[in-house]
Amino acid sequence: MHIDLNAFFATCEVLRDPSLKGKPLIVGHVGRSGIVSTCSYEARKYGVHSGQPTFQALKCCPEAIVVEPHFKIYEVYSRSFFSYVKRYSQIIEVASIDECYVDMTKPLTECKDPVAYLRAMQFELKKETGLSCSIGIAPTKWLAKMASDMKKPMGLVFLRKKDIPKMLYPMPIENFWGIGKKTTPRLREHGINTIGDLAKAVEYEDSYLQKELGKFYLTVKQWIQGGGSDTVEVEYADPKSIGVSETLMYDSTGYDEISKTLHEICLEVSRRAAKENKVGKGMTLHVKDTAFKSHSKAMTFEEPTRDGETLFARASALYKAHYNTLEVRLVGVTLEKLGSMAKAEVQMNLWNYEQYEELDKTKLLIAELNRKLDKPSLMRLSEAKKKGE
Site residues (vs DNA, CB under 7 A): 29, 32-35, 37, 50-51, 53-55, 95-99, 145, 176-184, 214-216, 239-247, 272, 282, 284, 291-300, 329-330, 332, 334, 337
Identity of the residue, 108 or 378, whose beta carbon is nearer to DNA in the bound complex: 378
**Nearest distance, CB of residue 58 and DNA, angstroms:** 7
**Nearest distance, CB of residue 32 and DNA, angstroms:** 4
Identity of the residue, 119 or 186, whose beta carbon is nearer to DNA in the bound complex: 186
264 part of the active site = no
* Active-site pick, 13, 42, 68, 99: 99
Provide the strand spans (E) within 232-293: 242-253, 278-289
Identity of the residue, 123 or 236, whose beta carbon is nearer to DNA in the bound complex: 236
Do 80 and 64 form a contact (C-beta atoms < 8 A)? Answer: no
Identity of the residue, 84 or 323, whose beta carbon is nearer to DNA in the bound complex: 323
Give the whole-angstrom CA distance, residue 78 versus residue 133. 12
**Nearest distance, CB of residue 45 and DNA, angstroms:** 21
The partner residues of 334 in beta bridges, in order of sequence, read 243, 284
Give the whole-angstrom CA distance, residue 234 versus residue 349. 15
Q: Residue 138: CA atoms inside 13 Å, Cβ hemisphere, count?
A: 34
Identity of the residue, 97 or 167, whose beta carbon is nearer to DNA in the bound complex: 97
Q: Distances from the Cα of 375 to the Cαs of 16, 90, 165, 369, 378, in angstroms?
A: 10, 38, 51, 11, 8
Non-local CB neighbours of 280 within 8 Å, separated by 6+ positions: 242, 273, 301, 304, 305, 306, 335, 336, 337, 338, 339
**Nearest distance, CB of residue 210 and DNA, angstroms:** 10
Give the whole-angstrom CA distance, residue 357 versus residue 355. 6
Q: Tell how strand 133-137 and strand 99-102 pair up.
A: unpaired
**Nearest distance, CB of residue 182 and DNA, angstroms:** 3
Q: Distances from the Cα of 264 to the Cαs of 68, 257, 363, in angstroms?
A: 21, 13, 33
Residues belonging to the active site: 99
